[in-house]
Amino acid sequence: MEFTAKQIAEILNGKIEGDENAIVNNFAKIEEGKPNAISFLANPKYTHYIYETESSIVLVNEDFEPQKKINSTLIRVPDAYKALAKLLDVYNSMMEKPNGIEKNTHIHKKAKLGKDIYVGAFSYIGKEAVIGDNVLIYPGCYIGNNVSIGDNTIIYPGVKIYYNTIIGKNCVIHAGSVIGADGFGFAPVQDDAFVKIAQIGNVIIEDNVELGALVTIDRATMGSTIIRTGVRLDNHNHVAHNVEIGRNTVIAAQGGIAGSSKIGENCMFGGQVGIAPHILVANGTKVAATGAISNTIKTENTAVMGAPAIEISNFRRSFIHFRNLDKIVKKLEKLEKIIEENNLTIE
- 347 pLDDT higher than 70: no
CATH 3.40.1390.10 fits 3-94, yes or no: yes
What is the topology classification, in CATH, of domain 100-313?
Answer: UDP N-Acetylglucosamine Acyltransferase; domain 1 (2.160.10)
In this predicted model, what pLDDT tens digit does every residue of 4-21 receive, in sequence order?
Answer: 999 999 999 999 999 999
Per-residue H/E/C for the chain: CCEEHHHHHHHHCCEEECCCCCEECEECCHHHCCCCEEEEECCHHHHHHHHCCCCCEEEEECCCCCCCCCCCEEEEECCHHHHHHHHHHHHHHHCCCCCEECCCCEECCCCEECCCCEECCCCEECCCCEECCCCEECCCCEECCCCEECCCCEECCCCEECCCCEECCCCEECCCCEEEECCCCEEECHHHCEEECCCCCEEEECCCCEECCCCEEECCCCCEEEECCCCEECCCCEECCCCEECCCCEECCCCEECCCCEECCCCEECCCCEECCCCEECCCCEECCCCEECCCECCCCCEEECCCCEEHHHHHHHHHHHHCHHHHHHHHHHHHHHHHHCCCCCC
**Mean pLDDT along residues 278-288:** 97
In this predicted model, what pLDDT tens digit does every residue of 301-334 receive, in sequence order?
Answer: 999 999 999 898 888 888 888 788 888 888 888 8
pLDDT, the chain, mean? 94
- Domain pair 3-94 / 100-313, same fold: no
Distance from C-alpha of 205 to C-alpha of 211, rounded to nearest angstrom? 10
Q: Please give the pLDDT value at position 274.
A: 97
In this predicted model, what pLDDT tens digit does every residue of 148-197 receive, in sequence order?
Answer: 999 999 999 999 999 999 999 999 999 999 999 999 999 898 888 999 99
Q: Please give the pLDDT value at position 111.
A: 98
Q: Please give the pLDDT value at position 233.
A: 98
Q: At 338, is the pLDDT very low, low, confident or very high (cuts 50, 70, 90)?
A: confident
Percent of all residues in the chain with a pLDDT value above 70, rounded to a whole number: 99
Q: Please give the pLDDT value at position 342.
A: 83
Is residue 286 exposed (0-12), middle (13-18) or buried (19+ Cβ within 10 Å)? middle
Stated pTM of the model:
0.85
Higher pLDDT, 132 or 192: 132
Q: Please give the pLDDT value at position 149.
A: 98
- 118 pLDDT higher than 70: yes
- 245 pLDDT higher than 70: yes
Q: Please give the pLDDT value at position 203.
A: 98
Higher pLDDT, 316 or 48: 48
Q: Please give the pLDDT value at position 218.
A: 98
**Mean pLDDT along residues 272-293:** 96
In this predicted model, what pLDDT tens digit does every residue of 250-280 receive, in sequence order?
Answer: 999 999 999 999 999 999 999 999 999 999 9
Q: Provide the residue ranges of all domains of the chain, joining segments of one domain with +.
A: 3-94, 100-313, 317-347
**Mean pLDDT along residues 96-117:** 95
Catalytically active residues are 241
